[in-house]
Amino acid sequence: MKKRIAVIGAGPSGLAQLRAFESAKQKGAEVPEIVCYEKQETWGGLWNYTWRTGLDQNGEPVHCSMYRYLWSNGPKEGLEFADYSFEEHFGRPIASYPPREVLWDYIKGRVERSQVKSQIRFQNVVRSVDYSEETEQFTVTAHDLLKGQTTAEVFDYVVVASGHFSCPNIPYFPGFEGFNGRILHAHDFRDALEFKDKDILLVGSSYSSEDIGSQCYKYGAKSITTSYRTQPMGYDWPENWKEVPLLTHVKGNTAYFKDGSSKVVDAIILCTGYKHHFPFIHDSLKLRTENRLWPLGLYKGIFWEKNPKLIYLGMQDQYYTFNMFDAQAWYARDVILNRISLPPSDVMAAHSLAWRKREETLKDAEEQIVFQGDYVKELLSATDYPYLDVDGINQAFFKWKHDKKEDIMGYRDLTFHSLITGNESPAHHTPWLEELNDSMESYLKALPQARLNHSSCTVHNFSLS
């Protein structure tokens, strides 16, 4: 009987898994039956922007943490698919730091040219995943939001590709209940213009704080204060941006910090990260981890060691993204197709522990980048995924970190060369700080219409004059 696989989520990780099997099928392999469950109306995961917060139109928690005006905060050359370049999609090189809509179009472009969409059940929310030791199969129960029906189907493998940037980690600070302004988590941040002419406080010192603060600065916030727990981000911020130690409490509209300083603010945005949250998975199968480069319990960072038929994609803290998800998906595919054999459970656990021990020795961002690059290399070396210049990507990430240190508000104006095509990306037609329109139409307006001729490139729907 043909194997059946459930894939939960049609974001970048889930689509990578569908694409991996499609690639094998195109080369003549017999592949399993795949059902992909996606709770949103369309594919793309977090890159599929919605204005909604809280609950969606169906009463389901909003998955999306995306906001308007988001531009890539890392060079696109570090996430490029080895089998589908940006140049192939858009018909020519484009700048290195695209806005959200451009990246979403690129993600869609690769799968639109394949036959995987028929495998996806949109607006289907997975309610439970259970495993039977007797049958050695999973039962996946899902709710079709359009039909109002619940289904329960049996699968041989389950791939969890629902991501880990949708369940906010929300701390409490004394006085929140009496704060006279707005308090929100980054998950619910949608538009920097809401905070124009406002004094804002961001709690947190990682990428969300850095980027949301930069967006608010760009769109006219009066002042920005970021509060850190252990150490400041340390960039050369604009004059109206200040970093202070951790928030202790608020009173009225005044925020107080550990160094004794205070600041009157209009809004508090909690950039305090996300939880790995899988309410639909039985407790015996559930991954429990913090946001780390190496979560324990996953062989090769993929297979649930207690039951390797359960596969988790994209659960790591990430420098690498799209192409790392590909590396994981290709490896998982080859295990399912019996091209790769998994070792005994004790060997799997030892392998995972060795990676964790190495992770604990990492001293800085460059060592972390090399660590994750080595992980990607290990996966790729076992599959037929097209050649990916991991060392070159590492170098691009090193340059990116240096560029940010040199000019945190101008690094997006710099360019890189593609590790797939070798071509240098052009500079964007408008400096990032001056570009207030984040639409794909505006972003691509300088590209000659005649060059944009790839059949899957949806920019043909726009007038680029």
Mean pLDDT computed over 335-352: 97
Residue 459 has pLDDT above 60, yes or no: no
Mean pLDDT computed over 322-339: 98
Residue 424 has pLDDT above 90, yes or no: yes
How far, in Å, are 175, 204, 216 from residue 178 at the CA level?
A: 5, 21, 24
Chain centroid offset of residue 90 CA: 22
Mean pLDDT computed over 141-146: 96
Each residue's pLDDT tens digit, 247-303: 999 999 999 999 999 999 999 999 999 999 999 999 999 999 999 999 999 999 999
Each residue's pLDDT tens digit, 374-418: 999 999 999 999 999 999 999 999 999 999 999 999 999 999 999
Mean pLDDT over the full length of the chain = 93
Contact 377, 324 (CB under 8 A): no
Burial class, 201, CB count within 10 angstroms (exposed 0-12 / middle 13-18 / buried 19+) = buried
Type and span of the H or E element at 137: strand 137-144
Number of residues written out for the chain = 465
Query: Which tokens sit at 44?
Result: 């793309």
Each residue's pLDDT tens digit, 214-236: 999 999 999 999 999 999 999 99
Cβ neighbours of 240 (radius 10 Å): 12
Distance CA 43, CA 374 (A): 30
Residue 455 has pLDDT above 50, yes or no: no
Kindly write down the DSSP assignment for every residue of 167-214, as one continuous string.
Answer: EE-----TTGGG-SSEEEEGGG---GGGGTT-EEEEE--SHHHHHHHH
Identify the band that residue 446 occupies on the pLDDT scale cut at 50, 70 and 90: low
pTM for this structure? 0.93
For residue 402, the number of C-alpha atoms closer than 13 Å in the C-beta half-sphere is 8
Which pairing describes strands 120-122 and 124-132: parallel, antiparallel, or unpaired?
unpaired
- pLDDT the model gives residue 445: 83
Residue 357 has pLDDT above 70, yes or no: yes
Distance CA 391, CA 370 (A): 8
Percent of all residues in the chain with a pLDDT value above 70, rounded to a whole number? 96
Residue 50 has pLDDT above 80, yes or no: yes
Distance CA 29, CA 26 (A): 7
Each residue's pLDDT tens digit, 21-43: 999 999 999 999 999 999 999 99
Residue 462 has pLDDT above 50, yes or no: no
- pLDDT the model gives residue 299: 98
Cα–Cα–Cα angle for 90, 91, 92, nearest 5°?
95
Residue 458 has pLDDT above 80, yes or no: no
